[in-house]
Amino acid sequence: MVSFVRNLLCLTILTVLASTGYAIHCYRCDTFYNDCKRNPSKLIDCSTVTPPDHLSELFKVGKATGCMKLQYASMIQQRTRYDCYFGDVSNKQGCELSVMERMTGYTLACDVCTEDSCNGSGSLAPIAGAIILFLGVVHLFAP
């Protein structure tokens, strides 16, 4: 009976880990419109987001390939946009500003990453959760 419960638990864990790999989750906000640091609930599923029109016109883009943190300056202030990233991660073609934004500003920096919630502030919570899960599984299989 114990081996059945262990096998069922392992299968459940593998299923959960496999199902989370299909869509990337990123923070989505802009410091011009709101204070992103005070709104950590801005984590979204990027499979529900369509690519911006200005990227669809410039490049052939499909679904989101990562997360981005785009820093740019406008005539008024410096801004940071946290969003889903569309495009080739290796050449950062998805970091293009829209036509209106290019008329009034320019890109300062663009960081692209491919893990869930990697465009937000760093946190040890996911790492701690993975360590606890690993230790729990090891404890189950220990003699």
101 occurs within a structural domain: yes
Question: What pLDDT shows up at residue 40?
Answer: 60
How many domains, in total, are found in the chain? 1
Window from 52-56, 68-72, 75-79, 98-102 with minimum mean pLDDT = 52-56
CB atoms < 10 A from the CB of 15, how many? 10
pLDDT band (50, 70, 90) for residue 140: confident
- Let me know if residue 95 belongs to a domain: yes
The per-type count for the chain, helices as H runs and strands as E runs, is 4, 6
Of the chain, the percentage scoring pLDDT greater than 70 comes to 62
**Structural domain range at position 107:** 23-120
Token pair, residue 40, equals 């950590």
Asked if the structure places residue 141 within a domain, the reply is no
pLDDT of residue 124: 42
Residue corresponding to tokens 């419960």: 5
Is residue 38 situated within a structural domain? yes
Q: What are phi and psi of 27, to 5 degrees?
A: -75, 140
* Two tokens, residue 67: 């997360």
Whether 16 maps to a domain, the answer reads no
Residue 10 within any structural domain of the chain: no
Q: Is residue 73 part of a domain?
A: yes
Q: Is residue 111 part of a domain?
A: yes
Task: Give pLDDT, residue 17.
Answer: 47
| pLDDT, tens only, 35-61 | 676 566 788 899 888 888 767 666 666
Place 123 in a pLDDT band, splitting at 50, 70 and 90. very low
Task: At 141, list the tokens.
Answer: 């299989």
Task: Name residue 55's amino acid.
Answer: L
Give the least confident one: 5-9, 75-79, 107-111. Answer: 5-9
